[in-house]
Amino acid sequence: MSWKIALVVALLSGIVTAVVTTPVADKLTELHGMSDFEGKRGYALVFLFIPAGFIGGFLMGLLGTKLVGAMAWHQFWQAAGLSVLLGQVALWGIGGLSLLTIQRPPTFNGRPLALAMEILIPVDQLTATTRDPGAIRMSLYASDKDNQVIPVDPERFREENGLLVVPASALLFSRSTRRIVSVHLNDGWLAYDFDLPAVPTPTDAWSEPAAMRDAKTTGQRTERSTVKIRYRVLAMREPPA
């Protein structure tokens, strides 16, 4: 192999791979939800992904030249073609694997799913501020990348059968078998672990009320609360845009 040919092929392969890396990395970082705040995504493209594409393409250029065994310039285009091909295979292979890690919201007949909940609080546990805005806070955890705050509207609270009913709902953004709702109430946190498949089936029927647990306890040390929760999965009327 001629090192002069190898270096020229490597430079060409590196440039081509870096150019193609730009739109691929731009789209993938967008799909992964990388923040644009203060140009964070742009900096990642310029200083991480594009240089990585060039280096990868450069190495593929050296490998392609070696595989062809280019000793003379008439073998240049053969080595260059193989090198660019290797670079593109590597780039799109990495891109494809990256796509597999993107969160995919569960759907039902193309419609997004939501988890409707009602927190059932015995009225004897209410304080003077329980009904105030922000007194009750909720969040839904599905993964480290899917941990959302659930809006709570005190105007929707109602009392029935000695209970304060706190309704809330949250869209399901990822296919996870581990979903945990947390509720801040009276200066403490309660939690409930949903027994739902990654893609649950919507239903009109509410679950049976189940006791929530102290969020600090799990397993055999679980401490159950008198506060209960019931829930159901809903299919939203409109499919995602």
Give the angle subtended at the CA of 206 by the CAs of 186 and 219, to the nearest 5°: 55
CATH architecture of 108-235: Sandwich (2.60)
For residue 133, is pLDDT > 90? Answer: yes
Cross-strand partners of 119 = 166, 229
pLDDT reported for residue 238? 58
Confidence of residue 36 (pLDDT cuts 50, 70, 90): confident
**Considering only CA atoms, which of 111, 115, 119, 62 is closest in space to residue 87?**
62
Confidence of residue 239 (pLDDT cuts 50, 70, 90): very low
- Residue 205 has which token pair? 């029927």
- Residue 60 has which token pair? 């593929």
Query: Percentage of the chain surpassing pLDDT 90?
Result: 66
For residue 88, is pLDDT > 90? Answer: yes
Euclidean distance between CA atoms 159 and 166, whole angstroms = 9
Average pLDDT of the chain is: 90
Using CB atoms within 10 Å of the CB of residue 21, give its burial: 0 to 12 exposed, 13 to 18 middle, 19+ buried. Answer: buried
Torsion of CA 6, 11, 16, 17, to 10 degrees: 80
Longest dimension (CA), the chain: 90
pLDDT per residue as tens digits for the range 181-225: 999 998 899 999 999 999 999 999 999 999 999 999 888 888 999
pLDDT per residue as tens digits for the range 46-86: 889 999 999 999 999 999 888 888 788 878 899 999 999 99
For residue 161, is pLDDT > 70? Answer: yes
For residue 35, is pLDDT > 50? Answer: yes
Residues of the chain with CATH 2.60.40: 108-235
